[in-house]
Each structure stands twice: as C-alpha cells, then as structure tokens.
C-alpha cells in the first residue's frame, strides 16, 4: 500500500512546494484540501494547480459560515486583539482548517497529516496541536523538517514549473474574511515604513475630504446590522471591510511576540475587525458594571493569548467562552463610528441595557445624585492610603 498524506493546501508557494517534496522525497501520494475562509482565491484555479502538481485527489471546502459563527464571532465577544493590536485573522483559521483536514483524513484513510508551515512561525503550533488533539497520525512538515528557506523554495518551485505570482515573490501574505497579513521582504526592516503597494484593502492616498459614519447594531455581543441594514454575517463583514478600508481605516503595524520567542514585524489590513472590536468593546463599557469591565478584560487577554498561541483546543478556551457568553446577554445596542482620513472614533452609543444614566451623570440642574453621600464614601475608600502616607510624613 502506498503511503498517503493529506495536506492543507492554499495553492501558494509553501504548500505547492510541499506537494512535490511529499511525492519525491517522502515517496507519498498526496491528497490536498483547500478550505475557503474568505481568502477570495479562485477555487477552480487552485484545484487546477493541485491537479497539475499530480495530487491523487483535491477537496475544496467552503467554511466561510462556520469561520464567522464559530471563530470570528467568539473573537468579537472577547474583543480579541493579541498584544492589543492583532485581531488574530490568521490564528483563527488554523484550527478550523486543521479540523476540516482531519474530517477528510478519516474518509481518505491517509497515513500522515501534512502542512506547509515553517519552524519559525505560529501556524506550525496551531496545526500540530489541532492535528494531535484529533488524531494519532504522524505529522509531516517538510519546510520545517528540511529547514527550507524562501529562496530555496522559489528555486525549487521554478525547477518544477510551479507558477508563483509576483506579489508572493515580494511578501508572504495570508488573507481571509477577517484580515490580511503581510510579512517578509522590505517589511523585515522594522524601522522602514511599509511601501504603499503593500496595502490592497485600505486606501492610503487621496482619502475623502469628508468623514463617513458606520452605525453598527449588536445583538447579544454579535453584529446583526450595519447602517440600518440587516445583513448576513459574511456580507456584514465584507461591507465594513469595504467602507472602512475606503476611509483609510484598518492598518496595523507592530512588533509581535511569536509563540516560539521570535519577535517579528507584522503588518495587517483589518478594517472590519478594527471597527467591530472598537464598537463592541465600547458597547460593553456601557452595559457592563465596572466590576464586569475590569474582570472581563483579563479574560479577554487570556483568550487572545491562548488562541494566538495555538491552543484553541485547550479546554480552557471553552471555559473562557462559557464565561464570555454569559457576559454577552446584555451586549445589545448600536454604536456610531466616525471614519475620517484613516482615523476611527466612536462618536455615539445606545442600548436598552445601558447603565449610563443622564439623571445621575448630569452636571446640570435636576440631577438625582446626592453629592453629600460622596463625602463619607471617599473617606473610607482612601482610608488606608491616607493612613500610610500620614505615617510616612511622621517619620
Ligand atoms: N503573525 C500572524 C500570526 O501568526 C500572521 C501570520 C500571517 N502569515 C503570513 N504568511 N503572512 O497569526
């Protein structure tokens, strides 16, 4: 019986090279799986590419709906931004892709699971951990195992007639519905401003002279309508990506700590994620108590850290989700965002669960808040702090 590997296949440089390596160096038959998470690729072209590479069978799975409902929406509820910046666009897809690969692995009775990740990035962790959580099959990662670099891969691709598009020669790109990540090439100089041809989703030149607005309606922590229109989750995200991107909103440029310890310069285009997380967290502040706000931000951070670090499958993630879901019952309402020449600002919010009370907060006449009550509270609140300082002064 020939050995048979199943490979998560994007049709890009890494995974195309891996198909050939598996066939030639590992002597294996290859089954490829492309999971559509809204990367906008032509699935027919990818299937043709797989065929040309001589794979035994190619699968194309549309997982966009599942990606939104089971991965993006939980991440919005968790206001998920790794190191306060990165919306986890790539990180969220990996466990989903790996799960889909596992489903087909069973059907195809393969002898190994394969991926095209390097030994330097985070994706190897995400694939390996999800694979090993759901199967005992061995994992093959030729790029990591053979210590391949990009230049060697490009040479190998050329030798095997594998076509690589011109952008992929300059940068390493990963994109889906939730964001576009750009790495490598000139971006590896952490002090150099990214050239404008890096950006495709976000407009950087000739931005509109007037501001535009986005009105996002949330129901139990997830967006359900935008600008007064009820849209399905995929269309809603696409709509915001377009509108905010056109206003220059959604570029992120930061130094990121990878799981294995490397610091890397990462550039992202994430217009919808940027707007939705900003709006969602603002709405939470209005409906949650100060205690919920303080505690939940710790949980949110832990969630982001765990998911970034490839531990989607850890039971803790579900534990955190249970808490987060409980907090979302009152996160319903509308947030108004102003987009102007690349900047984003929340300029209004309302909710039937709002804890903001005009009558209590107003500095105007008719406030129902009795200021006299505050005196005693402040005295007790600061008692230990003032005592400690009194003691210091005596010394
Ligand atoms: N650093 C991000 C992550 O680990 C994005 C990686 C994107 N990959 C790429 N080839 N650009 O999730």
Question: Cα-Cα-Cα-Cα dihedral of 266, 272, 278, 283, to 10°?
Answer: -150
Q: Output the pTM of the full model.
A: 0.96
Q: What is the pLDDT of residue 170?
A: 87
Q: Determine the distance separating the centroid of ligand 1 and the alpha carbon of 158, expressed in angstroms.
A: 24
Q: Determine the distance separating the centroid of ligand 1 and the alpha carbon of 289, expressed in angstroms.
A: 35
Residue 235 to residue 243: CA distance in whole angstroms: 12
- Of 12, 121, 180, the one to substitute when testing ligand 1's pocket (max ligand atoms within 8 A of C-beta) is 121
Q: Determine the distance separating the centroid of ligand 1 and the alpha carbon of 374, expressed in angstroms.
A: 51
Q: How far is CA 112 from CA 30, 138, 259, 387, in A?
A: 10, 5, 25, 67
Just list the catalytic residues. Answer: 14, 94, 123, 172
* Contacts for 261 with CB less than 8 Å, ≥ 6 apart: none
Query: Residue 121 has which token pair?
Result: 């990035």
Q: Which atom of ligand 1 is nearest to the CA of 173?
A: 11
Nearest CA to ligand 1 atom 2: 90
- Of 126, 174, 253, the one to substitute when testing ligand 1's pocket (max ligand atoms within 8 A of C-beta) is 174
Q: What is the pLDDT of residue 165?
A: 82
Bridge partners, residue 61, by sequence = 35
Q: Determine the distance separating the centroid of ligand 1 and the alpha carbon of 120, expressed in angstroms.
A: 11
Q: How far is CA 125 from CA 129, 130, 144, 153, 192, in A?
A: 6, 8, 12, 21, 29
Q: Which atom of ligand 1 is nearest to the CA of 308?
A: 12
Query: Residue 367 has which token pair?
Result: 């406030």
Q: What is the pLDDT of residue 50?
A: 97
- E strands, the chain, are 3-8, 28-36, 57-62, 112-114, 139-140, 172-176, 179-183, 212-219, 222-226, 229-230, 251-257, 263-269, 333-340, 343-350
Q: Which atom of ligand 1 is nearest to the CA of 182?
A: 11
Within 10 angstroms of residue 89's Cβ, the number of other Cβ atoms is 24
Nearest CA to ligand 1 atom 4: 122
Name every protein residue with a CB atom under 6 angstroms from any ligand 1 atom: 90-91, 122, 172-174, 181, 183, 256, 266
Q: Determine the distance separating the centroid of ligand 1 and the alpha carbon of 264, expressed in angstroms.
A: 10
- Of 181, 182, 199, 268, the one to substitute when testing ligand 1's pocket (max ligand atoms within 8 A of C-beta) is 181
Nearest CA to ligand 1 atom 8: 174
Q: Determine the distance separating the centroid of ligand 1 and the alpha carbon of 267, expressed in angstroms.
A: 9
SS3 content of the chain, % helix, strand, coil (to 5): 45, 20, 30
Domains in the chain, CATH or no CATH each: 4-166 (3.40.50.620), 176-350 (3.90.1260.10), 358-394 (1.20.5.470)
Nearest CA to ligand 1 atom 11: 173
Q: Which atom of ligand 1 is nearest to the CA of 89?
A: 12
Q: Determine the distance separating the centroid of ligand 1 and the alpha carbon of 4, expressed in angstroms.
A: 28
Q: Which atom of ligand 1 is nearest to the CA of 123?
A: 4
Within 10 angstroms of residue 323's Cβ, the number of other Cβ atoms is 13
The tens-digit pLDDT sequence of the chain (395 residues) is 689 999 999 999 999 999 999 999 999 999 999 999 999 999 999 999 999 999 999 999 999 999 999 999 999 999 999 999 999 999 999 999 999 999 999 999 999 999 999 999 999 999 999 999 999 999 999 999 999 998 999 999 999 999 888 887 888 999 999 999 999 999 999 999 999 999 999 999 999 999 999 999 999 999 999 999 999 999 999 999 999 999 999 999 999 999 999 999 999 999 999 999 999 999 999 999 999 999 999 999 999 999 999 999 999 999 999 999 999 999 999 999 999 999 999 999 999 999 999 999 999 998 999 999 999 999 999 999 999 999 999 98
């Amino acid at each position: 019986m020939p050995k048979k590997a199943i490979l998560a296949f994007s049709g890009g440089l890494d995974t195309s090279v891996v198909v050939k390596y598996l066939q030639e160096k590992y002597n294996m038959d290859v089954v490829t799986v492309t999971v559509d998470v809204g990367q906008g690729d032509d699935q027919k072209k990818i299937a043709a590419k797989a065929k040309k590479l001589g794979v035994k069978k190619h699968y194309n799975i549309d997982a966009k709906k599942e990606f939104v409902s089971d991965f993006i929406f939980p991440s919005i509820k968790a206001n998920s931004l790794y190191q306060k910046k990165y919306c986890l666009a790539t990180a969220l897809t990996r466990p989903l892709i790996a799960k889909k690969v596992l489903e087909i692995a069973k059907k195809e009775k393969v002898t190994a699971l394969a991926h095209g990740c390097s030994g330097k990035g985070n994706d190897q962790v995400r694939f390996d951990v999800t694979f090993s959580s759901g199967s005992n099959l061995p994992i093959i990662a030729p790029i990591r195992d053979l210590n391949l670099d990009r230049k060697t891969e490009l040479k190998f691709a050329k030798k095997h007639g594998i076509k690589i598009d011109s952008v992929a020669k300059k940068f390493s790109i990963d994109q889906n519905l939730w964001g576009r990540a750009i790495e490598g090439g000139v971006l590896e100089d952490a002090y150099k401003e990214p050239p404008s041809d890096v950006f495709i989703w976000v407009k950087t030149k000739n931005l509109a002279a007037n501001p535009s607005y986005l009105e996002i309606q949330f129901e139990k922590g997830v967006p359900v309508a935008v600008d007064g229109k009820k849209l399905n989750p995929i269309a809603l995200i696409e709509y915001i990506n377009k509108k905010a991107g056109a206003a220059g909103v959604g570029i992120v440029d930061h130094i990121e700590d990878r799981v294995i310890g490397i610091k890397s310069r990462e550039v992202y285009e994430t217009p919808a994620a940027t707007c939705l997380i900003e709006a969602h967290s603002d709405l939470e502040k209005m409906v949650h108590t100060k205690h919920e706000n303080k505690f939940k931000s710790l949980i949110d951070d832990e969630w982001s850290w765990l998911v970034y670090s490839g531990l989607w499958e850890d039971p803790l993630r579900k534990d955190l989700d249970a808490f987060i879901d409980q907090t979302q019952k009152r996160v319903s309402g509308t947030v108004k965002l102003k987009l102007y020449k690349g900047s984003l600002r929340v300029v209004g919010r309302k909710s039937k669960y709002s804890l903001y009370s005009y009558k209590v907060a107003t500095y105007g006449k008719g406030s129902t808040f009795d200021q006299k009550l505050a005196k005693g509270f402040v005295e007790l609140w600061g008692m230990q702090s003032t005592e400690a300082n009194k003691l210091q002064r005596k010394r």
